[in-house]
Amino acid sequence: MTDATHQVRRAVPAQAAHLADVLAAAFAEDPFNAWLLPDRRSRVARLQRGFKAMLSEMYLPHGECYLSGAGDAAAVWAKPGAWHVPGKVQLRMLPGLARTFGHRLPRALNGFEQLDKHHPEIPPHWFLALIGVRPESQGKGIGTDIVAPILETCDATGTPAYLETSNARNLAFYHRLGFVIRDQFELTRGPHIWTMWREPGEP
């Protein structure tokens, strides 16, 4: 690990609200979330609710979540073989997602389903479900640092990694981390999506 990655710490369930705040601020202008939540004024508050539900029910208990030392960035991973959201977890997340998306809930669920259809089952891989840096802290290397612990695990264990993005600006960032474009498509009446894959490197 570099000095900078020593600043990154694993998040605990009590930090769900903090993680959700960071991610909501980071994703305020993200094309996928803007499509689901067109009202800019309420988008951040709604995203906080949705991310909190996903973190509390799925990613904090079953995945691995990281916070930057200053608390201004978050990365949320699903472990190899565990990216599917189990049915009972989906049910527990549903009230939070309904409060987030309101009458756009069917569009959101359909969007998630389309993403899942493109998600490879094998080989087992780490899935970077969410990564966000508060807008005022972007472009300072924090996003690079916060994914380092799991990318190092990928290299040490020979495990690939996978992600989805709707923001063309992120492609260069992910390329520098070793990801290549795996697939790209349009969501039905929605944004363009790139999926990206990273083969493990030398440990």
Ligand X SMILES: CC(C)(COP(=O)(O)OP(=O)(O)OC[C@H]1O[C@@H](n2cnc3c(N)ncnc32)[C@H](O)[C@@H]1OP(=O)(O)O)[C@@H](O)C(=O)NCCC(=O)NCCS
> Of 198, 27, 32, 187, which is closest to residue 118 (Cα–Cα)?
187
**Single-letter amino acid code for the residue at 50:** G
Q: Which one of 142, 150, 161, 187 is in contact with ligand X (CB under 6 A)? A: 142
30 contributes a contact to ligand X by CB under 6 A: yes
Site for ligand X in 144-183 (CB under 6 A): 144, 165, 167, 169-170, 172-173
Count the residues of the shown chain that bind ligand X, applying the rule CB under 6 A: 19
Whole-number minimum distance, CB 87 to ligand X, in Å? Answer: 26
Nearest CB to ligand X, comparing residues 71 and 98? 71
77 contributes a contact to ligand X by CB under 6 A: no
Cα 13 to the chain's mean position, in Å?
Answer: 17
140 contributes a contact to ligand X by CB under 6 A: yes
Handedness of CA 180, 187, 98, 91 (dihedral sign): negative
Q: Which two tokens stand for residue 110?
A: 């359909």
Report how far apart, in Å, the C-alpha atoms of 188 and of each of 113, 155, 165 are. 11, 35, 16
Interface residues with ligand X (CB under 6 A)?
A: 26-27, 30, 131-133, 138-144, 165, 167, 169-170, 172-173
